[in-house]
Structure formats: C-alpha cells, structure tokens
Amino acid sequence: MALFPEGRQSLTAYAYNMGPAVLYQPAYRFIAADIGLEAGAWLDIGCGPGWLCIRAAAGHPELDVVGIDTSETMLSLAETNKRGRLNVTLRKMDGAQIIYPAGTFDVVTAVQAAHHWTDPGPILAEAWRVLVTGGRFYLYEADPDGEIPADWLQRRAGWPPDAILRRRWRRYGMDQARWDALKAAVAASPFGDSVEDERHGFYRRLVCTR
C-alpha cells in the first residue's frame, strides 16, 4: 500500500489530524454534549479523523455513531483514533449518496464539511431522507467573527496564541456570502424554513429540523 494513497490530499489529511483536530478536541466534546443524544443513531457526514463520532459515542453504549467520508486517508486515521470502539462505524461514502434507508438516524451532523460542497442540495436532501421525523441536521462552520472560548481549545504551553488562531480562523471561516448561500440551499431543500441560525462557541451553525 502506498504511504500517501491519495497524494496531496493525504498530506493535508495527516496535517489536519496532527494539528487542528488535536487543538479542537474540547470543541468536539462541547458539540457532542450540546447535541446530547445518548441512545439511538447518529450520522456524521465528512467525519474526517473521527473525533466528533468518538466523543459522541464515549460513555453511551446505547448510541450507534456512523461516520462517513469520501477520503480513504481520513477514514484510516479515524479507524486508528477510535481504538476499537464498537459503537463507532466508519464508512467510505459520499453525503450525496447515503446507502442507509429512510428514517435511520436521530441526528445528522456535518462539522467543517459544508465549505467543501459545491452543490449542497443533494446532501441536504439525503440528510432529510435518512433522518427520523423530528430529527435534526446540525451544520457547523467556522465563524470568522466568533470569539474563541479558551476552554474550547487544547493548547500546548499556551500555543497557538489567540492572535494566530483568529487569523487562521478568519481564513477558514465561511464569509457572510457563502453562509447566506448555504442558508438559501437549506431553504430550497426539503428542510425548507425549519432552520435556525445560531452561534455555538467559535462556530456558526444551522440547525435544520425534519
């Protein structure tokens, strides 16, 4: 097997797993605790190295968490990170073509994944289809104007300082025009106007109810 089977994409995945994914560990815990699903089924679209799935599943044996991603490298990192946890399943799958039957999941999440989507419509339609009635799809993206709550980050010896993080965060964050385009896509999807635009830590999120 090649060391970097997906070339440059693999390098990016490894860098992400060593950097931001470590730094944001407390954030994944806050998101998991806030959503607070302790039993049932949870789908994470664009799970990357798997940390939200792992934090959501921890201590909740009655909860089954499925993480899907299109990147084999991300999925193999997630497989390592989950350390054999039985209630986390990882699968190579596109959010626009989910193989699960209608009404399978109580919660669907996508954290920092929507900025990759050139056409969110099919993914929104699939999230709606696989949710139970009353289930929620949470879409999180970096908020370029967000405050950085100190306890949402796991720093090493105070590094990186807020000034550096803010600069990076603005670069990664969705500007207002892209955020508005994502909201317009939600409004045009089966979720329609069942959506709330909220701030959560250093994220903006859309909470879409089926």
Ligand X SMILES: C[S@@+](CC[C@H](N)C(=O)[O-])C[C@H]1O[C@@H](n2cnc3c(N)ncnc32)[C@H](O)[C@@H]1O
Which residues, 6 or more positions from 162, have their beta carbon under 8 angstroms from its beta carbon? 148
Residue of 32, 77, 95, 195 that binds ligand X (CB under 6 A): 95
Residue with tokens 């959501």, as numbered in its chain: 56
* 206: contact with ligand X by CB under 6 A: no
Residue of 71, 81, 87, 189 that binds ligand X (CB under 6 A): 71
Least distance (Å) between residue 56 CB and ligand X: 12
Site residues for ligand X, window 133-192 (CB under 6 A)?
A: none
Dihedral sign of CA atoms 182, 52, 92, 48 in order: positive
Nearer to ligand X, 73 or 87 (CB): 73
Distances (CA, A) of 52 to 33, 36, 63, 202: 10, 12, 13, 16
Per-residue x/- mask for ligand X, residues 13 to 52, rule CB under 6 A? --------x-----------------------xxxxx-x-
Provide the strand spans (E) within the chain. 40-45, 63-69, 88-92, 105-111, 131-142, 195-200, 203-209
Per-residue x/- mask for ligand X, residues 99 to 138, rule CB under 6 A? ------------xxx--xx-----x---------------
Contacts with ligand X, residue ranges (CB under 6 A): 21, 45-49, 51, 68-71, 74, 94-96, 111-113, 116-117, 123
